[in-house]
Structure 1
Amino acid sequence: MRFVAFSKVKDESQVSAPPTTEAMVEMGQYMEQVVKAGVLVAADGLQPTAKGAVIRFDGSDRTVIDGPFTETKEVIASFSILDVASKEEAIEWIKRSPNLPGGVGEVELRQLFEPEDFADVATDEVAAFDDNVGVLRRD
């Protein structure tokens, strides 16, 4: 089972302020544990929303809104993808993580879809498409 963990903070300045050396060392030690356990698939911090954009879909229309996103109540500061046996195991790994920048925040944990989740709709046409682009396939 794969889960994505979104680390969210309340204040944009928590994302844009550089971390302390101590915080970097603490996070590095945690990441080393997750890697050695074979659980970590990917992880990274995100730049402030001022460097981002939102692309809004409305039917066939697309609208691009450049950051910063000042009206956002929460900002995703980082993400990680964990490959674990259960939701409970993913939660235990996240609970071991060092505190978020600024000391207050939360982590949203969401399970990723797996190819077998689409077995009911995986027609020959879908399978052929997947053979070409690998959307549903995990290599």
Structure 2
Amino acid sequence: MKVMVMVKATKDSEAGVLPSQELLTAMGEFNEALVDAGIMEAGEGLKPSREGARVHVNGKDRTVTKGPFIETNELVAGYWIWKVSSLEEAIEWVKKCPNPMDEASDIDIRPIYDMEDFKDVDTDGKCQDQEEALRHTIAMRQAQVNNYLFFSGCCDDALAFYQTHLGARVDMLLRFNESPEPMPEGMLPPGYEEKVMHCEFTIGDMTIYASDGCGDEGEFAGFNLALTIDSEEQARQVFDALADGGTVRMPLEKTFWSPLYGQVIDKFGMGWMVMLPPVE
């Protein structure tokens, strides 16, 4: 079951009094224990009600009232979302919680409805299907998508090249002979033991994954990496570097979407679209 654990507001929290360093540390350690136990799914502190608003709903009417609100004992100053086996387990965890305030405080525990609770109302299951679809959409919108490049044996050379000409930063690199588990027999070509099994590098604000793969992975096809640079001088310098030993597919020139845009395949077979940002 899931529960929301709510730290009720106090006079000090509504006044915006921040917790002490000692209390922050204690709460941090408690949160670590929750995470280690696989219980905590979310948790945040809330600013005083004077920085919020309340919307009163009456039929089609909506009345907005700006904070602060006077019912301090009814307000929430922070919350957790926990996944526990029972209300009793949640109670035991709350008993272990440091006092989240520097004064007497209350912590409420409320079970969260599950769609199973509405089965007598949602008799055809349509609402449950909608809920599951929404959860999937939310999960996918929070997912991360990264390019994964296979350099067929020349990953080290490509990384050195991108570090020199594109300011790439290698954040992590693992070679096949450093794998925590041995590679299956016959999977690697001879001499590939010191090749790159996996690495992560950053160009600008983009993180790229790369590997030498397990041999000839074929050509990069069907996509390009788009590189937007603010400076025309730097864009031309980068384009020329990528073109050295590579192939220019479209020279840098003005387009309707960019003051300067060009396409080039570098000497490792990677396609790039180099451009300036559009003029606003």
TM-score interval for Structure 1 and Structure 2 normalised by the shorter chain: 0.7 to 0.9
User: Cα distance 1:124–1:6, how it changes in 2: closer, same or farther (>3 A)?
Assistant: closer
Q: CA RMSD, aligned part only?
A: 2.1
Q: CA deviation at 1:124?
A: 4.6
Q: Decide whether aligned partners of structure 1 residues 8 and 121 sit closer, same or farther in structure 2, where only a CA change above 3 A counts.
A: same
State the partner residue of 1:130: 131
1:1-139 pair list within 5 angstroms: 1-11=1-11, 13-15=12-14, 16-69=16-69, 71-74=70-73, 75-122=75-122, 123-130=124-131, 132-134=133-135
Which structure features the higher share of helix residues? 1
Checking the alignment, whether the CA contact within 8 Å between 2:55 and 2:64 is kept in structure 1 is yes
How far is 1:102 from its partner? 2.4
Q: What's the offset of the Cα at 1:131?
A: 5.1
Q: Taking structure 1 as reference, are residues 84 and 125 closer, same or farther at Cα in structure 2, changes over 3 Å only?
A: closer
Letter of the structure 2 residue corresponding to residue 7 of structure 1: V
User: Which structure carries more relative contact order (alpha carbon 8 Å, separation 6+)?
Assistant: 1
d(CA) in 2 for partners of 1:37 and 1:132?
Answer: 28
- State the SS of the aligned residue for 1:101: coil
What displacement does 1:128 show?
4.9
Percentage of matched positions with identical amino acids? 32
Shift of 1:107: 0.7
Classify the secondary structure of the residue corresponding to 2:18: coil
2:13 partner amino acid = Q
Please tell me whether Structure 1 or Structure 2 has the larger radius of gyration of its CA atoms.
2
The structure-2 alpha-carbon separation of the partners of 1:131 and 1:45, relative to structure 1 and needing over 3 Å to count, comes to: closer
Unpaired segments of 5 or more residues in structure 1? none
Give a deviation string over 1:71-104, Cα, whole Å, max 9, x none: 2132311000110000000000111111021221
1:131 and 1:96 mapped to 2: Cα distance?
34
For this pair of structures, how many residues does the alignment match? Answer: 135
Give the alignment's TM-score, normalised by structure 2: 0.45
Q: Which consecutive residues of structure 2, in runs of 5 or more, have no partner in the other structure?
A: 140-280
Contact 1:2 1:83 in 2 (8 A): yes
Q: What's the offset of the Cα at 1:10? A: 3.0
Q: Distance in 2 between matches of 1:28 and 1:127?
A: 36
Cα distance in 1 for partners of 2:108, 2:53 equals: 21
The SS at the match of 1:95 is helix
Residue pair 1:9, 1:104 contacting (<8 A) in 2 also: no
Instruction: Determine the C-alpha separation between the residues in 2 that align with 1:34 and 1:127.
Output: 29
How much has 1:132 moved relative to structure 2?
Answer: 4.3
Shift of 1:6: 0.8
2:115–2:128: 8 Å Cα contact kept in structure 1?
no
Distance 1:124 1:2 in 2: 21
In structure 2, what is the Cα distance between the partners aligned to 1:67 and 1:85? 37
